[in-house]
Chains A and B, each alone.
Chain A
Amino acid sequence: MPAVSETIETVQSVQEGGYKWGFETDIEMEFAPKGLNEAIVRFISRKKNEPEWLLEWRLKAFALWRKMEEPRWAAVNFPPIDYQDAHYYAAPKQKAAPKSLDEVDPELLRTYEKLGIPLREQERLQGIAVDAVFDSVSVATTFKERLEQEGIIFCSISEAVQKHPELVREYLGSVVPQADNFFAALNSAVFTDGSFVYIPKGVRCPMELSTYFRINARSTGQFERTLIIADAGSHVSYLEGCTAPMRDENQLHAAVVELVALDDATIKYSTVQNWYPGDAEGRGGIYNFVTKRGACRGARSKISWTQVETGSAITWKYPSCILQGDDSVGEFYSVAITNNRQQADTGTKMFHIGRNTRSTIVSKGISAGRGQNTYRGLVKISPKAHGARNFTQCDSLLIGDQCGAHTVPYIENRCLTAKVEHEATTSRIAEDQLFYCRQRGLSEEEAVGLIVNGFCREVLKELPMEFAVEAQKLLAISLEGSVG
């Protein structure tokens, strides 16, 4: 996502219109045969040269998944998914794992350049380390050596399995168990790559860490797995971005992200999700069915989720916090846009377990075209969470009269000394606001962009600076054609 070059391109694309990340990279790929069975799970594990325990772990997940049913409780509609009609592994063909960037296929480097994520040393984004995941594999990670000096591990999860098996084994599935839900079980069986982060005790990560996910291959699913561990007293800010080519088929993206924050540790996790949303009639686009959860295990630990969800045909995700440690803090800041035929059912869950745990939820839903946007959230306070506090603010903005916004807050408070507050508003962009802007010379689309950005301000200001600018442009692009 990041960087000035991207901003310029993005601005250009505002003028050109459409989804500018929709190109396809022509590169020789290696696929697993279509279908999903035990042999495929073994195939993936073998491809990744995994230890026996991990294969067993996957097989167990697969066995659990077979007994589960696709959840249908979310307010989204889609035809049945044929899980046998997809490839579960797709990787650019290369002789051996590239040891340095010089060995990475130049076509791949060009792809990331085009996306505004230069990976080559001289062009790298300053102050941001990037892990680039292309379909099922991580193709490059930048600034690794610099981070290693601080004892920070930032690599693909496949590499972590090889080099730091003890850490992976200890934490994998410890926040999102294999049987957590249908898509998490599927991911546990067939996850291919993703990022791994470990920040040692007392270390403040000196740069932003980010992963850029790219779906390229046709008829494949992407199942990435990200695991971030912040040891006691450490601090890290992590950002993920995602794009995919324009296709008239729906592709499944079922990721799992697990965060663990120990005593006094802070994890800030930001997402700018811009998967291909499908066309104006709702053909194609990514099904973004994702499980993200963080455990504030330590006292005074903090996990903060910020998400800007502009893409995907369907978004189904609830980044959550388990506030176990006393005085731990969970935050969820979200902007979700649905335009044309997009559907989003997103929100968060805050589980207050420790004493004096605090959570803040700020959700901004924007619906345009025939988009449907649901905020679904759960605040659960256990009897022992004395002094727990939650504040929830859900605002919906409607553009046009064929879209919908829904708010479904669940509150389960079993502690008398806890305090839960919920505020919700629904509004439309007023005619007088638009006219005021246009009288000052702004086009209708610029005016909508400005008003929408204003509406989302509380969330956008939570993003790291460089990304906030990108996110603003993205909002404007996502709403193109929604007025007039």
Chain B
Amino acid sequence: MLKIEGLTAEVEGRPILKGIDLEVPAGEVHAVMGPNGSGKSTLSYVLAGREGYEITGGRVTFDGRDLLAMEPEERAAAGLFLAFQYPVELPGVGNANFLRTALNAVRRARGEPELDAMQFLKLARAKLKALHMSEEMIKRNVNVGFSGGEKKRNEVLQMALLEPKLAILDETDSGLDIDALKIVADGVNAMRGPGFSALVITHYQRLLDHIVPDRVHVLMDGRIVKSGPASLALELEAEGYAKVAA
């Protein structure tokens, strides 16, 4: 599904990613852990195509396509979804309107018919219910005045609606209370299947108790320094990065 080979990238002339090799096969969930500032969010932005990140080497294929040659919206249409570490506020833009516009843009790209307001509402209600979220969520403006946890839940709602092939969750668990954490994990687990892969960026084992990853990768100073099974996360938590990576 996703294959990253020797990826290097700079921000403002400063190398951040220093040669990443990582493969996420279809249907698998991989976790990425690593200290603050190691380049986890940078990796997610580079994969999603954000401006300001200069790719200096390597290649990335997504579903067989050259990911780095695509515009951000093309990547989204191809099925790549990024749950932001810091979701962005859009003042005056209704969440329902935003979600429908996004869903229809992606559906258009997939050659599926667009949903009208009523059809969308029906679908959104079903997803909200499955995620134990209140309908208030889609009546408000996008992320405006949302609490940290609500913002993260809104990201998961978007993921559920857009049904991506690959979801990158950048610290979606940070700032969530225990119940919300469970809801988010259930949301991801519900999508698991042969057509869905995920790259779960997190600092905490507690998320991985709920979303058990197929593999865990340790990112330090712009490189994957270690990969292993789910138990690697437990080791990290017990021993710290320095020791495990050494």
Contact = CB atoms under 8 A, between A and B. Distances in A.
A and B, one complex? yes
Interface of A: 430-433, 435-444, 446, 450-451, 453-458
B162 A440 contact: yes
A454 B162 contact: no
A231 to B, nearest CB: 37
B87 interface: yes
B51 interface: yes
Contacts of B229: none
B101 interface: yes
A481 B71 CA distance: 17
A446 B101 contact: yes
Which 6 pairs from chain A and chain B are nearest by CB?
A454-B92, A454-B93, A440-B102, A441-B105, A457-B92, A441-B76
A455 B144 CA distance: 13
B48 A441 contact: no
Interface of B: 48-52, 71-73, 75-77, 81-82, 84, 87-93, 97-98, 101-103, 105-106, 109, 141, 158, 162
Contacts of B48: 435, 439
B185 to A, nearest CB: 22
Nearest to A433: B88
Given A440-B162, A441-B109, A435 B93 contact: no
Nearest to A461: B92
Contacts of A440: 76, 98, 102, 105-106, 158, 162
A441 B98 CA distance: 11
Given A431-B51, A441-B102, A454-B141, A436 B73 contact: no
Contacts of B84: 436, 439
Given A438-B71, A438-B72, 7 more contacts: A430-B88, A433-B90, A439-B72, A441-B103, A450-B90, A450-B98, A457-B93
B158 to A, nearest CB: 7
Contacts of B91: 454-455
A441 B106 contact: yes
A455 B93 CA distance: 8
Contacts of A455: 91-92
Contact of B72 (A435, A446, A454): A435
A439 B85 CA distance: 13
B69 to A, nearest CB: 15
A236 B201 CA distance: 58
Contacts of B71: 438
A420 to B, nearest CB: 25
